[in-house]
C-alpha cells in the first residue's frame, strides 16, 4: 500500500517537466470529489499545477511503451504497479483535450515520476476528452 | 551557439562524459550517437519543445485548479 492509494502523495520528478524543469516536487491528489480527474499540484513558489486523468479512462486499452531508461529513472522493475496520468488542457471555450502522447508515469513505491517523451506514438498530444 | 565541423566517427564531448558522435551522414539526415550516464536524460529536441508547449498550455495555478476540475467534471457529464 502506497501513499498514492490513500489518495495523496508527494512525487519527485527528477528531471522536472519540460518547460518546468526546476519544479521537481508535485503533490498528487486523487480526491473522490474530483473523480475521474487527479490534481497534480506543483510545490513551491510559482509552481505549475495540472488536471490529469488516467489515460485508460479516456481510451480503453491505452498502452504506451517504457524504455529501459524510463524504468531505470522510475526505479521500477514491475511496470504493472505504475500509475499513469495524462495531462488535461482546458482552454477557454475549447473542448478539453488530453495529452495521451506524453503522459506522466509514477512509481508509487519510489514516489518518483517522469513525463514520457516517445519519439513515436499512436497517441495524440490533444485527444478530445470523452469517456472511454 | 558553438559550431563545429565534424566528420563520420568524429564527435564532441560536453561537460564530464557526454559524448556526441557522428555515426553516418546520409541524404536524409545525420545519424548521431550519444553516450551519457543513465541519469542524463537525452531527448529529441523538437519533441521536447512540443511537450514544453503542451505543458505550458495545460499549466494553471493551484488556486484555479479546483474550479478547472469542477468545469471538467461538468463538461464530461454533459
* A19 to B65: CB separation less than 8 angstroms, yes or no: no
Q: What pLDDT, on the 0 to 100 scale, is given for residue A74? A: 92
Residue B73 pLDDT exceeds 60: yes
Residue A92 pLDDT exceeds 70: no
List the one residue out of A29, A52, A53, A27 whose CA is nearest residue A42.
Answer: A27
Task: Determine contact: B24 vs chain A, CB below 8 A.
Answer: no
Please indicate, yes or no, whether residues B3 and B32 belong to a single structural domain of this protein.
yes
Q: What pLDDT, on the 0 to 100 scale, is given for residue A1? A: 43
Please indicate, yes or no, whether residues B47 and B78 belong to a single structural domain of this protein.
yes
Residue B76 pLDDT exceeds 80: no
Task: Determine contact: B31 vs chain A, CB below 8 A.
Answer: no
Give residue-wise pLDDT tens across range B28-66: 999 999 999 877 889 999 999 999 999 999 999 888 888
Banded model confidence at residue A131, pLDDT cuts 50, 70, 90:
low
Q: What pLDDT, on the 0 to 100 scale, is given for residue B64? A: 85
Please indicate, yes or no, whether residues B8 and B30 belong to a single structural domain of this protein.
yes
Banded model confidence at residue A90, pLDDT cuts 50, 70, 90:
confident
Please indicate, yes or no, whether residues B26 and B53 belong to a single structural domain of this protein.
no
Kindly state the average pLDDT of the residues A110-131.
Answer: 91
The ranges assigned to domains in chain A are: 8-128
Query: Which burial class, exposed, middle or buried, applies to A99 when counting CB atoms under 10 A from its CB (0-12, 13-18, 19+)?
Result: buried
Please indicate, yes or no, whether residues B56 and B27 belong to a single structural domain of this protein.
no
> How confident is the prediction for chain A on average, in pLDDT?
90
Q: What is the ipTM of this complex?
A: 0.91
Q: What pLDDT, on the 0 to 100 scale, is given for residue B38? A: 79
Report the gap between the CA of A1 and the closest CA in chain B (Å): 26
What percentage of chain B carries pLDDT values higher than 90? 67
Q: What pLDDT, on the 0 to 100 scale, is given for residue A95? A: 84
Which residue in B has a C-alpha nearest to residue A99's C-alpha?
A: B54
List the one residue out of A97, A109, A111, A7 whose CA is nearest residue A52.
Answer: A97
Q: What pLDDT, on the 0 to 100 scale, is given for residue A33? A: 86
Q: What pLDDT, on the 0 to 100 scale, is given for residue A3? A: 63
Q: Grid coordinates 511503451 are at which residue?
A: A65
What class does CATH assign to A8-128?
mainly beta
Please indicate, yes or no, whether residues B20 and B7 belong to a single structural domain of this protein.
yes
Give residue-wise pLDDT tens across range A24-63: 999 999 988 888 999 999 998 889 999 999 999 999 999 9
The structural domain count of chain B equals 2
Banded model confidence at residue B77, pLDDT cuts 50, 70, 90:
low
Please indicate, yes or no, whether residues B31 and B50 belong to a single structural domain of this protein.
no
Q: What pLDDT, on the 0 to 100 scale, is given for residue A2? A: 60
Please indicate, yes or no, whether residues B5 and B29 belong to a single structural domain of this protein.
yes
Which residue in B has a C-alpha nearest to residue A68's C-alpha?
A: B38
The pTM for the full model equals 0.89
Q: What pLDDT, on the 0 to 100 scale, is given for residue B74? A: 79
List the one residue out of A44, A27, A43, A46 whose CA is nearest residue A85.
Answer: A27
- β-strand A112-115 against A127-128: which pairing, if any? unpaired
CB contacts of A91 in chain B (<8 Å) are 57
Which structural domain range is residue B32 located in? 1-38
- Residue A88 · residue A37 · CB < 8 Å: yes
Task: Tell me the three cell numbers of residue B13.
Answer: 564531448
> H or E element: which one contains A130?
none
Amino acid at each position: 500500500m502506497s501513499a498514492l492509494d490513500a489518495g495523496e502523495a508527494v512525487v519527485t520528478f527528477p528531471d522536472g517537466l519540460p518547460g518546468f524543469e526546476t519544479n521537481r516536487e508535485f503533490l498528487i491528489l486523487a480526491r473522490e470529489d474530483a473523480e475521474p480527474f487527479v490534481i497534480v499540484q506543483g510545490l513551491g513558489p510559482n509552481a505549475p499545477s495540472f488536471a490529469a486523468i488516467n489515460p485508460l479512462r479516456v481510451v480503453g486499452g491505452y498502452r504506451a511503451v517504457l524504455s529501459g531508461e524510463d524504468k531505470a529513472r522510475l526505479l521500477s522493475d514491475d511496470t504493472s504497479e505504475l500509475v499513469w496520468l495524462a495531462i488535461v488542457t482546458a482552454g477557454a471555450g475549447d473542448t478539453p483535450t488530453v495529452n495521451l502522447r506524453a503522459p506522466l508515469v509514477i512509481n508509487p513505491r519510489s514516489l518518483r515520476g517522469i513525463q514520457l517523451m516517445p519519439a513515436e506514438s499512436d497517441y495524440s498530444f490533444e485527444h478530445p476528452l470523452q469517456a472511454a | 551557439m558553438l559550431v563545429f565541423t565534424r566528420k563520420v566517427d568524429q564527435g564532441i564531448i560536453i561537460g564530464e562524459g557526454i559524448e556526441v558522435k557522428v555515426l553516418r551522414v546520409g541524404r536524409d539526415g545525420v545519424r548521431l550517437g550519444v553516450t551519457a550516464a543513465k541519469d542524463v536524460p537525452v531527448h529529441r529536441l523538437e519533441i521536447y519543445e512540443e511537450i514544453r508547449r503542451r505543458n505550458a498550455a495545460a499549466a494553471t495555478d493551484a488556486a484555479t485548479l479546483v474550479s478547472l476540475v469542477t468545469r471538467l467534471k461538468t463538461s464530461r457529464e454533459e
